[in-house]
Amino acid sequence: MRRQLGKHRTHVFSYRGRSVSRVNNHAWTKALARAGIENFRWHDLRHTWASWHVQGGTPLHVLQELGGRESVEMVKRYAQLSGEHLAQYVTSMTGGLRRVVTNRLRSETKKG
């Protein structure tokens, strides 16, 4: 895809200077066959794009706008791909548990 940069001013996929508007045609099928790709749909590229954004830390509301989705519900299916938004809570909980266990061990050691 990086090799496509600059070939068209607004679209990633172009052919002879024109944007690609039909995607499930004979040329698409031939290109997949030449690349050795099976069971792949044009729409899979949209899923990959969204997945990479989420894994890269793009907030869901931003991804909603970038992808032209009407609701954040459509975007939430990608949320499970990144646990970054949960990491801070796991870390804080783990630290709290360590303190509790350490304090209990110290008090049991002093008693025993």
- Torsion angles phi and psi, residue 3, rounded to 5: -70, -15
Write down the pTM of the prediction.
0.52
CA dist 64 and 76 (Å) reads: 9
- Quote the tokens at residue 30: 């031939």
Residue 8 has pLDDT above 80, yes or no: yes
Quick one: pLDDT at residue 57? 84
Q: What is the dihedral of CA 26, 32, 36, 38, to 10 degrees?
A: -100
DSSP codes, 19-38: E----SSHHHHHHHHHHT--
For 53-109, the pLDDT digits (tens) are 888 888 888 999 998 888 888 888 776 666 665 666 776 666 666 665 566 666 666
Please tell me the predicted confidence (pLDDT) of residue 71.
Answer: 85
Read off the pLDDT of residues 12-68 as tens digits, 9 standing for 90 and up. Answer: 878 888 887 777 778 888 989 999 999 988 788 888 888 888 888 888 889 999 988
